Amino acid sequence: MTQILDIHDLKAIARRRVPKLFFDYADSGAWTEGTYRANEEDFQRIKLRQRVLVDMTDRSLETSMIGQKVSMPVALAPTGMTGMQHADGEMLAAQAAEAYGVPFTLSTMSICSIEDVASVTSRPFWFQLYVMRERGFVLDLIDRAKAANCSALVLTLDLQILGQRHKDLRNGLSAPPRLTPKHLWMMATRPRWCMKMLGTRRRTFRNIVGHAKGVTELSSLHSWTAEQFDPQLSWKDVEWIKERWGGPLILKGILDPEDAKMAAKTGADAIIVSNHGGRQLDGAPSSISMLPRIVDAVAHQIEVHLDGGIRSGQDVLKAIALGAKGTYIGRPFLYGLGAMGKEGVTLALDIIRKEMDVTMALCGKRRITDVGPEIIAE
């Protein structure tokens, strides 16, 4: 049995357990994957200040994101098709996050529905919205998120047009997956994954199937999805969504200080500095490299969060030190899920929490709320 010490160990196990088609879907970035790599590598360039002989007892990672208490400033990012990493993936990840006291964000493009996740959790989760051309469907999703008592809407702004991922094209992956003999072979080599999946066939893209116009089953979902992302999305639409939702709103996919200023003007509660995990504009800078400029531009007006490339608790701490109020992990929890289901998500969170706690102490801090740029070495 492989010893699991860090997120990379979970990734190695997930690679062995999840069919290549779906593992690659998680582990891919757009085009050359340069931005995907930069997200991780740029964290390594940031060095921490070691401090000694500071009282390190009674440490706390507790803080808040958009006014909601979190046991540590790490939320689970919205990820499409999470239920393909592991049967009932969204439901299991939501339960793990709930038990841990951190937010779970359900993607519009999830396998399990808003209602499925609500049925297995007792505390509110967050819902991520893609604004589709079919605005009636968007309104219906907002109403469903309200009915499920979701406590924040995460509106994704950086996917008006879909970035191209070579791994997915080479594997012939589409959303929803259209199974070919090659795919069936990829699945057959992961019998354990298949056994778990067998019982869950009824749960597929349930946020959309049966709700969007003309999408009564999976086959019609394919053409609907292809034409639904809206290249004309504008700041006016953001205002419209804000009004219709009426609750806490987080704008995801801001990577430029000018856009951050526009976002702050909408009166949203937070922005997420993000390049969609390097899955959209390849060649864009890493999220962490843009954080300081965005914090300078808007942090006095709006809460700034960050995602992209976080693979350890040290990375979280660096983002917090540079001005983020909270962070999100995408692939780290997907690797945990693919490796070991719910237990694996909990383990991913445990690894990150432990690394953050020890690092914080060795930087001479006892509370995450006291961490600032002074822990970064020049």
Is residue 308 at the binding interface for ligand FNR, with CB under 6 A as the rule? yes
Smallest gap, in angstroms, from Cβ of residue 310 to ligand FNR?
Answer: 5
Show the 3-state SS of 190-222: CHHHHHHHHCCCCCCCCCCCCCCCCCCCHHHHH
In the list 14, 30, 87, 329, the residue contacting ligand FNR (rule: CB under 6 A) is 329
Is residue 128 at the binding interface for ligand FNR, with CB under 6 A as the rule? yes
Residue 68: closest CA among 316, 269, 272:
269
DSSP letter for each residue of 23-76: HHHHT--STT-HHHHHHHHHHHH--B----S----S-B--EEETTEEESSSEEE
Is residue 77 at the binding interface for ligand FNR, with CB under 6 A as the rule? yes
In the list 274, 289, 312, 359, the residue contacting ligand FNR (rule: CB under 6 A) is 274
Q: Which stretch binds ligand FNR (CB under 6 A): 185-193, 194-202, 255-263, 273-281?
A: 273-281
Report whether 184 contacts 190 (CB < 8 A): no
Is residue 276 at the binding interface for ligand FNR, with CB under 6 A as the rule? yes
CB closest to ligand FNR, residue no: 330
Q: Respond yes or no: is residue 276 known to be catalytic.
A: yes
For residues 17 and 276, which CB has a smaller minimum distance to ligand FNR in the complex?
276
- Measured between alpha carbons, how far is 2 from 9 in angstroms, rounded to an integer? 8
Smallest gap, in angstroms, from Cβ of residue 176 to ligand FNR?
Answer: 13
Smallest gap, in angstroms, from Cβ of residue 272 to ligand FNR?
Answer: 7
In the list 21, 26, 153, 298, the residue contacting ligand FNR (rule: CB under 6 A) is 26
- Measured between alpha carbons, how far is 239 from 57 in angstroms, rounded to an integer? 46
Numbers of helices and strands, H then E, in the chain: 15, 10
* Number of chain positions touching ligand FNR (CB under 6 A): 23
Interface with ligand FNR in residues 180-239 (CB under 6 A): none
Which token pair is 363?
Answer: 């930087």
Report whether 250 contacts 272 (CB < 8 A): yes
Smallest gap, in angstroms, from Cβ of residue 323 to ligand FNR?
Answer: 18
In one-letter notation, the amino acid at residue 265 is K
Query: Active site residue: 86, 276, 300, 305, which one?
Result: 276
- Measured between alpha carbons, how far is 28 from 46 in angstroms, rounded to an integer? 24
In the list 103, 309, 336, 338, the residue contacting ligand FNR (rule: CB under 6 A) is 309
In one-letter notation, the amino acid at residue 267 is G
Q: Which stretch binds ligand FNR (CB under 6 A): 58-66, 161-169, 301-309, 315-323?
A: 301-309
The residues carrying an active-site annotation are 276
Interface residue list for ligand FNR (CB under 6 A):
25-26, 39, 77-80, 107, 109, 128, 156, 252, 274, 276-277, 279, 307-310, 329-331
